[in-house]
Structure 1
Amino acid sequence: MPLNMRFRFSPAKDGLVKVLGPLETDIMQIVWQEDRSTVKHVHRSLSQNREIAYTTVMTTMSRLAEKGVLNRHREGLAYVYSPAITEDDFVQMVVHQVLDGLMDEYSDTAIDYMVDYLARNNPAELERLHQTIRARTNI
C-alpha cells in the first residue's frame, strides 16, 4: 500500500468524495470496477450521465496517477490506467491517516467522542471495541 499519498479530508461530504473530488471518485469507481482502462473508456462511461470534456477526464486521470492512486503505462498511442491500490486498501489508508492525525493531536477528545458516538449510534460496535481492547490488553 503506498504510504506517501496525502489527501484533504472533507468530513461533510459523502463517501470517497470526503478525500477525492467528485470526478476523481467517479473515475476511480470505474477503474476499480474495470481493473484497467483508458481515458477514452472512462470518458465514454462518464458521458452517459453528464456532459464532460475528454481533456478534463484525461487531466484528472493524470493527476490521480501523480497522486499514486492510479498506475499508467503506454500501450500504442494510449495510456492504460490501472488501480495502484485496491478500493479497500485506499479506504483503510485514508482512515489511518485521519485517525492518526486526530490521535496525534487530540487523542482524549477523539477517544471520548468515539466511545460516546458508538454508545449512542451503534452499541454492537461499542461492544466489539470493548472486546478488542480486552483481547489486546489481556484483561
Structure 2
Amino acid sequence: MLGPLEREVLSCMNEIRQGTVRDVYKHMRKEKNIAYTTVSTTLERLYEKDYLARGEDTGRGGTRYVYTLKNVKPKIAKMFVDEFMSMFGKTGVSALHDEISKYE
C-alpha cells in the first residue's frame, strides 16, 4: 500500500523518469512546500518497496544516488484492484464489469 506522498513522488518520477533527490525535490517544490529530507526519505522507501531502481553517480561533492522509475504499472494495477476489492467486494466487481463492457 502506498501513502499519498509516495504516490506524489511516483507521479513526479513518472514525469522526470530519472533523477537525484535534488532533481525530485526541485520538481515537487514547484507545486508543494516540501522538505528535502522528506523527499529523500520517501525515495528511499520507494526504492525499498521495489518501485524505483537506484544507481550511484560520483560528482562534485561526492557520491549521490540517481533514482529511476521501474515498470510499476502491473504492481500499481494490483494495488488498485486489491483496494477496490476490499472496499466493494463482488458487488463492485459486477458493477465495474458492466461499466467496462460499455467500452468494448
- The TM tier, using the shorter chain, reads 0.7 to 0.9
Segments of 5+ residues of structure 2 without an aligned counterpart are none
Matches within 5 A, 1:18-97: 20-76=2-58, 77-86=63-72, 88-95=73-80
CA–CA distance in 2 between the matches of 1:65 and 1:38?
A: 13
Structure possessing the higher radius of gyration over alpha carbons: 1
Q: Percent identity?
A: 27
Which amino acid letter does the alignment assign opposite residue 70 of structure 1?
A: L
Q: Which runs of 4+ in 1 moved over 3 A?
A: none
Superposed displacement of residue 126, structure 1: 4.5
Which amino acid letter does the alignment assign opposite residue 79 of structure 2?
A: V
Which amino acid letter does the alignment assign opposite residue 43 of structure 1?
A: Y
Structure in which a larger fraction of residues adopt strand:
2
Match in the other structure for 1:114: 93
Superposed displacement of residue 33, structure 1: 1.8
Q: Report the RMSD for the aligned CA atoms in angstroms.
A: 2.8
Which amino acid letter does the alignment assign opposite residue 85 of structure 1?
A: N
* Offset from partner CA, 1:20-68 (integer Å, 9 cap, x none): 2222111111111222111101100111122211111101100110011
